[in-house]
Structure 1
Amino acid sequence: MKDVSHKRHIAKTITWRIVGTIDTIILSWIISGNPFTGLKIGFAEVITKMLLYYLHERAWFKINLSKDGRILESRKRHIAKTITWRFIGTLDTMILAWIISGDPLTGLKIGFAEVITKMILYYLHERTWYKINYGLNERRK
């Protein structure tokens, strides 16, 4: 299962980064008023977010939330993953937006705006991937 799960986590990382980057570019453009600032922030976070997301996926894969030794795949688990990922992702976006725009307030605005959009998008991404068997030898119950 270990080798196969890496493929799944890499695929999830890539698909989430596409969704997340598009969202960041649009929000950054709207908030900064400059499409190039939006593009710079969106593309700058691609590398940091992919690395952070992969590490987040690996950590959650190792977390055992059930009493019988099986990994619990449920809505509660997906909500918990959504919250922890959003904290990490928002902090990364705020820092990058501040550095790129030169304005800490712009970083805060972009970070707070994406909390809502990204949590909704991430939850939907998790639910979609829960229904996909790619990278699983068998479906865990």
Structure 2
Amino acid sequence: MVHSLLERTKNMPTYRKESHIRSILKGVSWRIVATTDTIAVVLLVTCLNGSCSLENAIKIGALEFVIKFLVYYLHERVWQNILQNKTVDKKQTLHKTISWRIIATTMTFVISGTILETFDEIAMFIALTELFTKFVLYYLHERLWLKLPLGKVRQFFLGKKN
């Protein structure tokens, strides 16, 4: 049993402190995925309600991109300190995903309600739909970024070689 546990943890990535550049690029990649999802969710919910508006979907997506990018970066840096030098298993990724979803879904509700000028069931449906779609997307995004080797981003952008 101990040998089996050691074998499993040996293959898990160890979380080491990421550079600020990597956190920024990770934030940009996440916001592209998340904003695309937000626009699609807003269109779906508003169209099902009979008040379809691409303009509102883009406004909500754009405002979220800017605001959530900054909050995402801070969230990343906090988790850098929590997970530093620990073996990151799926449970830690799940905890990080849950913490982000609480923050981000609350922000989606507020931003949607503000743009739509009403905090009614439409803003709630947007936030709740996004809760599920983004939970899966964020988790997968996190696991993918754990597989990308540290330092490669810095080498690429600064032209450094090993």
TM-score normalized with structure 2 length: 0.76
Q: In 1, distance between residues paired with 2:110 and 2:100?
A: 16
The equivalent of 1:139 in structure 2 is none
Structure 1 residue 129 corresponds to structure 2 residue 148: no
Q: 19, 32, 36: which one pairs with 1:18? A: 32
Q: 22, 36, 42: which one pairs with 2:61? A: 42
Structure 1 residue 5 corresponds to structure 2 residue 24: no
Deviation at 1:95, TM superposition (A): 0.2
Q: In 1, distance between residues paired with 2:87 and 2:99?
A: 17
For the Cα contact (< 8 Å) 1:12–1:129, is it kept in 2?
A: yes
CA deviations over 1:53-75 (Å, ceiling 9, x no partner)? 000000000014xxxx8323111
Deviation at 1:135, TM superposition (A): 3.7
Deviation at 1:100, TM superposition (A): 0.2
Rg larger for? 2
Q: In 2, distance between residues paired with 1:134 and 1:17?
A: 20
The equivalent of 1:62 in structure 2 is 81
- For residues 134 and 104 of structure 1, do their structure 2 counterparts lie closer, same or farther at Cα, with a shift above 3 Å needed? same
Deviation at 1:34, TM superposition (A): 1.3
TM-score normalized with structure 1 length: 0.87
Q: In 2, distance between residues paired with 1:55 and 1:73?
A: 19
Structure 1 residue 117 corresponds to structure 2 residue 136: no
For the Cα contact (< 8 Å) 1:17–1:46, is it kept in 2?
A: yes
For the Cα contact (< 8 Å) 1:7–1:135, is it kept in 2?
A: no
For the Cα contact (< 8 Å) 1:29–1:36, is it kept in 2?
A: no
Q: 97, 101, 105: which one pairs with 1:86? A: 101
Q: In 2, distance between residues paired with 1:133 and 1:45?
A: 29
Which runs of at least 4 in structure 1 moved beyond 4 Å after TM superposition?
A: none
| Amino acid in structure 2 at the alignment position of 1:112 | L
Identity %: 40
Q: In 2, distance between residues paired with 1:58 and 1:73?
A: 16
Give structure 1 stretches of 5+ with no counterpart: 137-141
Q: In 2, distance between residues paired with 1:94 and 1:72?
A: 34
For the Cα contact (< 8 Å) 1:37–1:101, is it kept in 2?
A: yes
